Structure 1
Amino acid sequence: MSASGQGRRDRWVRFVPAGYSAVLALLIAGPLLGSGYLLLRDAVSTPRSYPTDSALGLGDAAPRAVPQDALLAVLSPVIDGGLIVKAILLVALWAAGYGAAVLARELVGAPVSAQLVATTVALWNPYVAERLLQGHWSLLAGYAALPWVALAAYRIRTGTGTGTGTGTGTGTGTGERIGRWAGLAGCLAAAGLTPTGALLAGITALSLAGRRQLAGVLALLIAASAPWLTATALSGAGSEPSDPAGIAAFAARGEPGLGTLGSLAGLGGIWNGDAVPDSRTTLLALIGTGLLLVIVATGLRSVVTDSADRDERYVRRALVVLAALAILLPALGATPWGMHVLEWLVAHVPGAGLLRDTQKYVALAMPAYALCAAAGCGVLARRFSTAPIDDARRSEAVGNGLSSDTHDDSALPSSSAGTPLPNLSPAVSRSVATVFITLLILPLLDLAWGVGGAIRPVHYPAGWQQVAEQTDGPGDIAVLPGGMFRKFRYSGKAPVLDPAPRMLPRDVLQTGELPVRGRTVSGEGARARAVETVLLQGGSAQELAEHGVGWVLVERGTPGPLGESKTTLAQLDPVYSDADLALYRVPGATEQRDRSSTHRSLVIAAHALWVALLVGGPLIATITRRARRKR
C-alpha cells in the first residue's frame, strides 16, 4: 500500500471508536429518540423554560441546577427544550465512550480493538445505568468530560515543557499552547453544566496538569464554575449548612454479594435502591463486578509501569490513584465514623452539601478503568504472541491502529526498551477485545434500550401550556400537594421531580425537602416551607400575599399532603381548571420579592463567561490544531 493510501487508512481507522461509541449511546438511550420529554425522578425536561430567579440560581434553594436551567431557558424559546435535553444526553454518552478510546490511544498506545474495550468500560457500566435511572442527565455530561479533561491536562503538562522526561511537546509554540489551554477550558465548561460535574473535572485537571500549571487550571475552573459560584455568593443559599441527615440518606449502598466497597469498585452502589437495573439486584451484580475487576486488573501493572516517558507515567499513575481514592473514600463515607465526619462537615462548612452523595465521585475511576482494560488487551495479546514482528507485520499493525500518530517503533507497544515487539496480529487483538466486550456487556444486558425500557419519553397534558399562559401577573407560585415529587398518570411508576418550576414563567416555591430511605432531608427553602405551612393549615390569602405569593397551582391526581388547603383556596380567584391542574390567583396586592437588577446582571455575566469558555474553548483549540497541521 502506498504511503498516501496508508495515511488515509489510518485516518479512517480512527473513526471506528467514534462510530462504536455512537452505536452504544443509541443502544442505551434509543427510546428517547421518540417524541416526548424526559421525566424520571430528578430528570425534568419541558417544552419551554424561563429565565426566572430560580433558573439563574438566585432562588431560596442552593443553585444545584446552574447553569443547566439557565441554558435551557435561553435556548428553549428557539429549540424545543425536550430536544435539547435529549441531544445533550446522547452527545454526553457518545463523548464518554469516544473520550475513553482517545485517552487509551494516547496514553497506552492502544490499538483500535483495545480502544473499543475502553469505550465499553466507559459506557456499559452500573454508574451510567444508575445515574440514568436517577435522572442525572446533566451529571453524565460531567462524567463524559472526564477523559477529555484528562487528555487536555496531559497535553498541557507535556506540551509546555515543564516535565523532565521525554514529553513530546517540549518547545511547543505559543499558538499550540493556547490551543491546549483552550481545549481544557472547553472541557471544564462542559463538565460545569452542574456544580458536581465541575468539581469532578476540577479534581481530575488539578491532579494531572502539574504544579506549575495549578494556578492556570484553578483560574479556568473558577471561570467555568462562575455561574453557580456567583449565584451562591449572591443568593446566600449556599452559605447555610446542609441537613446532616442527608449523609446517611445518601450514603453508598451495598449490592447483593458485594458489600459497599465491592459495589463501588464495580462502579455501582447508588444510594437509591430503586434506581438500579434489575440485574444489579441479583447475583449478576457479583458476576459483573468480578469480571470488570479482572479485566481492569489484567492491565493495571502495564498502565503503572510500562512507560519510558516521565510525564506520561505520572499521568497514568495519578489516574490510578484517583480511581482508588474515588472508591475507598465513598466506602469510608458509608461507615459509621465516616458518616459522623461528613455530618460534621455539612453542618459546619458551607457548601459541603456537595459531598453528601458520595457515590457520584466514583465517576473519577472511569478513566483509569478504561486505560487498564485497554492495556489488558495488549497484555493478553502478547501472551498469545511470541514471534518478533517483522517489517511486513509492523506495517500491518500500524494500519490496524497500533500506532496513533507515527510509524516508528516507539509508538508500538513493547515489554521493555530494546525487546523485539511481539507479533500482535489484528486477529489476536480483535479476539481478546471481543471476549472483553462480551464479558462486560452480558452481565448488564438490561442497560440496553433505556435501561430495560425504564427511560422513555412522556407527553404532558395540554393544561400545562394553558397554565403557563395564564400566570402573567406578579407574584411567585405556590404548589399543592406539598412536597417536591409527584406521581402523575402519564409519568410512570417512579416519582418525578415537580415540572412546575421549569414549566412556568414565574418562580415556583419549593422547600427542597427530599424523602430518602424513609426519612426527610431538609432543604434550604425557608420561605417555601412557610408558604406550604400556610396552605396546609388553611391560612388566609393575605398571608400568602405577604410571602410574595401571587398564584397557587394544584396538581391533581398526584399523592401528597393537602391539609386544610381547601379553606385557603376558597379565598382565591379561580383562573383555570381541568382534570390535571387548577390555577388560582391570590387577590389583592402581592409583596414583590424580585431580586435586584444588579444581582441578575452579575449572574448573567457569569453565565456569559461560561458560554464563552464552552463555545470559544473548542473553537480556538480546533483553529490552532488545523494551523499546526497545515504547517
Structure 2
Amino acid sequence: MAAGYALALSIAVTAPLFAPGYLLLRDAVSTPRSYLSDAALGLSEAAPRALPQDFFIAVTSSVVDGGVIVKVLLLAGLWLAGWGAARLAALVLSSGPAGQCVAVTVAVWNPYVAERLLQGHWSLLVGYGCLPWVAVAVLRLRDSVSSAPLWALLFWMALAGLTPTGLLLAATVALACVFAPGTGRPRWLCATLTIGIAVLVALPWLLAAAVAGSLSSSQASGAVAFAARAEPGLGTLLSLAGLGGIWNGEAVPDSRTTLYAVVATAVLLVIVALGLPVVLRRRAAVPLVVLAVVAVVVPAALATGPGLALLEAMIRALPGLGVVRDAQKWVALAMPAYALAAAGAVLTLRRWLPAAAAAALCCVALIATMPDLAWGVGGKVTAVRYPPGWTTIAEMINADPRPVAVLPVDSMRQFAWAGEAPVLDPLPRWVRADVLSTGDLNIGGQTVPGEGQRARQVQDMLLRGASREELAQAGVGWVVVESGSPPAFLDLPVAYTDEHLTLYRVGGDHHGASARELMVAAHTVWLAALVVGLVGMSVARLRARYTTPLT
C-alpha cells in the first residue's frame, strides 16, 4: 500500500514530464544523447560536481534516449523517498499502513522537493530518495549478521553517489545510524564498512579533482550568494526547519512566496512535534533525530555573518569544501527523522481518532498547505522540445569534434522556447567535443566566478573580435552563438545558421593532458558497485524468501 501511495504522489508531482520532450530547467539539462567526453569524465576545468552522473547518462543514452533516462530517474528518486520512508517507519516504529502513509507524504510532499525540482537538481533528488533506505540498511546491520543489509548498503550508497552531494548525504545518514543500539555487527565495523563504501563510490570525483586540479578557492566568493534564505514571515531557522529556504528566491513554489508559508511550516512542524515523543522512545531513532537538529541548525548558523565568514575561510583553505556552500541542500538529512515523526503522529493521535482518520487528516493537511507542488510544481517543471537546429549543429560538431567556444558568455541561458526560467547551456552534454565554459554565475547582480580560466581567455578573444587565425591558434575548432542574430564583431566562416543558432567553423584544435583510461576505470568501479550491490541484495532477499528453516 505504502509503495503504491508513494508512486501516486510522485506521479502527481512529475506528471507534466511524461509528455514528449526534455527536462531543461536551470541546472537540469537533458539531451537526446551524451558522450564520454573529457567533461563527462571530470577532466575539464570545472569542479567535478556532476560525476558519475554524466558518465552514467553518456553510457545509457547510447541505448535509451537521454531525456527518458533523466525523467525515469527523477520519478524513481521521489518514489524511493516515499517508499523508503514507509519502510523506515515500519522498521523503527512498527508503524502500520496509516502511519507509513503519513511518512510517505512528508518525504515526497515538502518544500525541499519543490525547490530542488525548480532548481533542476534531479540527481540530488535521487540521492535524497536513497536516504531512508540507507538508514534501514545500517539499522539492520546493527541488528543482524545477515549479508542482505550489507549488499543493500552498497547499492543504496552507490545509487545516492550519482552526485557527490548525494553520496555525502547518504554517508552522513549511515554514520549517524551506526550509533543506534543493536546486537548484530559492532559499531566500529558498520562505520568502517560505510567509510570504505563511500570512498569506493567516490572514486570518480575524488580522482577527477586530483587529476584535473579543478578545485579552486574561487568558490569561496559564492558563499553569500548560496546562503540559506528566510521565507516570508519566517526567519532562516524556521524556514529550514520547514524544509525550505533555498538560496534562489526564484526557485520556490508560489505558495512559499507569501505568508502562507507560515501556515505550511506550522502544519509540518506540528505533525512532527506530535510524533516526536513516540520517536524518542525508540532508541534506534534517536541518532536520526539528532542528525535532523544538526541539519537545520548548522545551515542556519552558516547563513549568519560569522557563519559566512567561517565558511569562506574554510573553502579558501580547503577548496574541496566548496560542496557545502549551498548549505540548504543539507536539510535533506532531516527527512528520515521527519518521516519517522510523521508516522509517530498517527500513534499519538489514535488516542482520540482511528488510525486511518488520523492519517487522512495529516496527509490532507500536508498536501493542502502546498497544493502547487502538484503537476510539476504548478506547471513550472515540464517537458521541453529542442528546435531542430540543435540536432543539426550537434551532428556537425560530432562529425569533427574540435573544441567549441560559445556565446553568450554566461553559463546560464534564457531560451524563449524553453520557458521563463534560465537554464545551463545544453551543448556540453550533447557533443563529443570539449565545450569551453567559464562556469561563471550571475546571482542577484553578483558574479560568482567559475573555474574555466582557458574558456575565459577564449571568450575575451571572441568579445574583442579576434580573427579566425588567432582563435585557431588558441585551440578553438568551432564557435556557437546560441542567441538569435550573431554579433557583428565575429568575422568567421558560417557553417550553419537559423533563427536560434549560428555555427562558425574555425578549425583549431587543442590536446591537453588526459587521463581518460584512469577516469573510465574509476567510473567503472562505481558502476560495478551499483550492479554488484543490486544483484547481491536481490539474491539475499530471494534466499530469505524461499529458504525454509529446518525443523
TM-score, normalisation: structure 1: 0.84
Does residue 592 in structure 1 map to residue 494 in structure 2?
no
Does residue 524 in structure 1 map to residue 451 in structure 2?
yes
- Of the three residues 530, 540, 561, the one matched with 2:467 is 540
Contact 1:488/1:557 (CA < 8 Å) preserved in 2? no
Does residue 448 in structure 1 map to residue 374 in structure 2?
yes
- 2:497 aligns with 577
Aligned positions of 1:2-17 closer than 5 A:
16-17=1-2
Q: CA deviation at 1:211?
A: 2.8
- 1:197 aligns with 166
- Which residue identity is paired with 2:194? V
Distance 2:445 2:529 in 1: 42
Aligned positions of 1:229-244 closer than 5 A:
229-238=206-215, 240-244=216-220
- Of the three residues 599, 611, 616, the one matched with 2:527 is 611
Distance 2:63 2:544 in 1: 36
Per-residue CA deviation, residues 456-498 of structure 1 (Å, 9 max, x unaligned), is 1110011111111111225210001111111112111111111
- Which residue identity is paired with 2:218? S
Contact 1:576/1:584 (CA < 8 Å) preserved in 2? yes
- Which residue identity is paired with 2:38? D
Distance 1:517 1:330 in 2: 21
Aligned positions of 1:127-526 closer than 5 A:
127-159=112-144, 172=145, 176-177=146-147, 179-209=148-178, 210-238=187-215, 240-305=216-281, 307=282, 313=283, 315-381=284-350, 383-384=351-352, 428-471=354-397, 472-526=399-453
Distance 1:217 1:32 in 2: 35
Per-residue CA deviation, residues 341-369 of structure 1 (Å, 9 max, x unaligned), is 00101111121100100000000000000
Distance 2:204 2:111 in 1: 30
Distance 2:483 2:379 in 1: 26
- Which residue identity is paired with 2:413? R
Distance 2:83 2:251 in 1: 26
Distance 1:555 1:135 in 2: 21
Q: CA deviation at 1:77?
A: 2.0
- Which residue identity is paired with 2:348? V
Distance 2:438 2:245 in 1: 27
Q: Structure 1 residues 39, 220: CA separation in 2 closer, same or farther (over 3 Å shift)?
A: same
Q: CA deviation at 1:616?
A: 1.5
Distance 2:443 2:44 in 1: 23
Structure 1: state its 5+ residue gaps.
1-15, 160-171, 308-312, 386-427
Distance 1:473 1:463 in 2: 17
Per-residue CA deviation, residues 295-316 of structure 1 (Å, 9 max, x unaligned), is 00111111112x4xxxxx1x31
Contact 2:113/2:125 (CA < 8 Å) preserved in 1? yes
DSSP 3-state at the match of 2:99: helix
Contact 2:83/2:104 (CA < 8 Å) preserved in 1? yes
Distance 2:267 2:58 in 1: 43
Distance 1:143 1:545 in 2: 44
Distance 1:547 1:110 in 2: 64
- Which residue identity is paired with 2:161? G
Distance 1:97 1:254 in 2: 27
DSSP 3-state at the match of 1:583: strand
- 2:182 aligns with none
Distance 1:523 1:103 in 2: 40
DSSP 3-state at the match of 1:256: coil
**Identity score, percent:** 51
DSSP 3-state at the match of 2:218: coil
**Structure 1 range deviating more: 65-74 or 210-219:** 210-219
Q: Structure 1 residues 96, 139: CA separation in 2 closer, same or farther (over 3 Å shift)?
A: same
- Which residue identity is paired with 2:212? S
Contact 2:403/2:509 (CA < 8 Å) preserved in 1? no
Contact 2:346/2:355 (CA < 8 Å) preserved in 1? yes
Distance 1:133 1:624 in 2: 38
Distance 1:514 1:213 in 2: 40
Q: CA deviation at 1:595?
A: 4.1
Contact 1:377/1:433 (CA < 8 Å) preserved in 2? yes
Contact 2:292/2:337 (CA < 8 Å) preserved in 1? yes
Per-residue CA deviation, residues 409-449 of structure 1 (Å, 9 max, x unaligned), is xxxxxxxxxxxxxxxxxxx0000001100111111000000
Distance 1:185 1:566 in 2: 55
DSSP 3-state at the match of 2:478: strand
- 1:104 aligns with 89
Distance 1:557 1:135 in 2: 25
Distance 1:377 1:322 in 2: 22
- 1:164 aligns with none
Contact 1:191/1:197 (CA < 8 Å) preserved in 2? yes
Contact 1:53/1:595 (CA < 8 Å) preserved in 2? no
Does residue 40 in structure 1 map to residue 9 in structure 2?
no
- Of the three residues 70, 76, 101, the one matched with 1:91 is 76
Contact 1:60/1:524 (CA < 8 Å) preserved in 2? yes
- Which residue identity is paired with 1:461? P
TM-score, normalisation: structure 2: 0.96
Distance 2:475 2:4 in 1: 53
Distance 1:27 1:448 in 2: 5
Distance 2:149 2:343 in 1: 25
Contact 2:52/2:205 (CA < 8 Å) preserved in 1? yes
CA RMSD, Structure 1 to Structure 2 (Å) = 1.3
Contact 1:41/1:133 (CA < 8 Å) preserved in 2? yes
Distance 2:279 2:455 in 1: 52
